[in-house]
Structure 1
């Protein structure tokens, strides 16, 4: 079974590698980094689809499906489970959704191994030829990415084996977004960038804080999703017709507990779900203010205006999607788009942090050059 699964992961990766090979880009490593980033973004979107269609336990074991490499081979066991619980977590459709998600994840893992292997090969060749190795060609980030994706895979396994325990699923989501940010940083440092006004160096701290605040909101959003609290407040801007509804923060934000249960094993009370949903809504105001302010400042910096415009557009789109999901009673397509737009914001803020860092480095280089000239 493991060999069959590995082959499927290789096939997914080969499709991406063929796009790299066929590319007209002379820098194939740069192209590989961007293709891996694109596939990871797709994986996050499909992961959201998997979670929102309740397909996380479509195959209740890991890494295969009832000990098989695909749902076709496990058809008898899946049909038996579906007959026993027609509305349960195991169906043929859910099994395929879950396994496709795993195949995509394995494909991303293979591509990251390829990134690391090429980076180390280039590094060793440069050392052998005694050529200066630029910081952008360092193999340490791709190596860290491999360790990171292994950790992400472990949480993916625990998501299944621990039966969708909310804290595990939320960490799995955060690690996926973290992997996306790391790959965006890797892809950015392989690419040429237009000169940026040195005023961008003042954006380093605000951009970093904005990214941290966004990750907090993603954690809260994941907590809403994994606790099935999306419909706890069905009106907007109030909740149950009031600004401060009855809420149970203690049970709602107890991290280590089973799905739908309190830490004592009782059923999670509805006020706990309300507290989870309400907190996500309120913190969205903080994110909107912080990211909106950063985007406004970025739009005034030469060389970053396009990034600022995209960031502001993505923020507005995310707000519209969030409001629409409540008014339209959380349709699946909009809920998946809500996750995708969050991933897009992570991408844009990561790129902004990278470019602000470039401006700061340029300032240091200019300062050193000026000092040497004066000497």
Structure 2
């Protein structure tokens, strides 16, 4: 069991690295650093020698070689491939040792295979926005399932009569709603980035143009007209403004719901650490988002914005799991038979 826990923990940490590298790859325009998949210009690695580069240009005459971007892309692929092998190892160990969870590892294996397909489509479909957004959501889901698997492996203490009371259904539903809204906001952020709409508005709190009159719902059509490449975006200015403003409005809604959730958590002393963590991560994410606007998307800040968004998702996954466990413990305690002589006493 200890070896399995360590493997899951290492795999979870590597998933965080893969997501950060993916954000860096996308933000440095290295998503098409290699025009083919899974290799690079027909090679297993980046063509470094003059002879290999000459052959690469013959194979892909419309894709000039940029070694920096090619290496960014390939490093991301190497690390993502390692993650896939570790998830395969988790499945092998889970099926060989009785008593280990099997359903979550199986889901992870299916997901990581689909992630590989999305990675291939990202290149072969030349950064089609729906594929890029799906790849982002797949990465976040992979990390979330790995965290959930690690939480399930944590030892469970027997509930005592002095344990905290069960969380109310309202708080549990609010936590679940918060997770759904954050995932939706992450998807909207991925759509903003995939359509290169992050810097079309430079003023706060809303866009400097008359966005109400220009708002175009077709900007959210997942299947866009076919293009040779979607790099640098294919939507017009009004459509990009619509996406950008929608992301900002979503941020306001998300912040309001999460602050309400934080207030609910704070009212229970046993859950106050979750409240503090939620407010801290939310505050950092809002600050990073504002900095992206006023400073025109600095690379380090943009990557941090992606990583902090992931931290917010993981925090809510863990909080929801904690609330679920508390509710389950309370139900178990309530169902225990009372010792002789306690009938009629208040528990």
TM class, shorter-chain normalised?
0.7 to 0.9
**Alignment partner, residue 176 of structure 1:** 139
Cα distance change, pair 73–311 in 1 and its aligned pair in 2 (3 A): same
Helix, strand or coil for the counterpart of 2:199?
Answer: coil
Cα distance change, pair 277–341 in 1 and its aligned pair in 2 (3 A): same
Picking from 23, 28, 40, the partner of 2:15 is 40
1:175-209 superposed Cα distances (whole Å, 9 cap, x missing partner): 11111111110011112468773333533211111
Query: Displacement, 1:369?
Result: 1.1
State how far apart, in whole Å, the 2-side matches of 1:207 and 1:31 are: 29
On the 8 A contact 2:195/2:235 being kept in 1, the answer is: no
Helix, strand or coil for the counterpart of 1:57?
Answer: coil
State how far apart, in whole Å, the 2-side matches of 1:207 and 1:139 are: 26
Picking from 209, 228, 235, the partner of 2:196 is 228
1:15-26 correspondence to structure 2 within 5 Å? none
**Alignment partner, residue 245 of structure 2:** 278
Picking from 255, 258, 269, the partner of 2:222 is 255
**Alignment partner, residue 273 of structure 2:** 306
**Alignment partner, residue 44 of structure 2:** 69
State how far apart, in whole Å, the 1-side matches of 2:119 and 2:103 are: 24
Query: Displacement, 1:119?
Result: 1.3
On the 8 A contact 1:170/1:223 being kept in 2, the answer is: yes
Query: Displacement, 1:249?
Result: 2.2
The count of residues paired between Structure 1 and Structure 2 equals 331
State how far apart, in whole Å, the 2-side matches of 1:221 and 1:89 are: 30
Picking from 140, 145, 151, the partner of 2:108 is 145
Residue 335 in structure 1 maps to residue 309 in structure 2: no
Helix, strand or coil for the counterpart of 1:198?
Answer: coil
1:301-357 superposed Cα distances (whole Å, 9 cap, x missing partner): 233222221111000000000001111111111011000000000110010011111
Residue 364 in structure 1 maps to residue 331 in structure 2: yes
State how far apart, in whole Å, the 1-side matches of 2:255 and 2:285 are: 10
**Alignment partner, residue 185 of structure 2:** 217
Superposition TM-score, scaled by structure 1 size: 0.81
Decide which moves more: 241-250 or 362-371.
241-250
Helix, strand or coil for the counterpart of 2:166?
Answer: helix
Structure 1 gap ranges (5+)? 1-25, 124-132
Picking from 285, 306, 326, the partner of 2:293 is 326
Query: Displacement, 1:286?
Result: 0.7
Query: Displacement, 1:268?
Result: 2.5
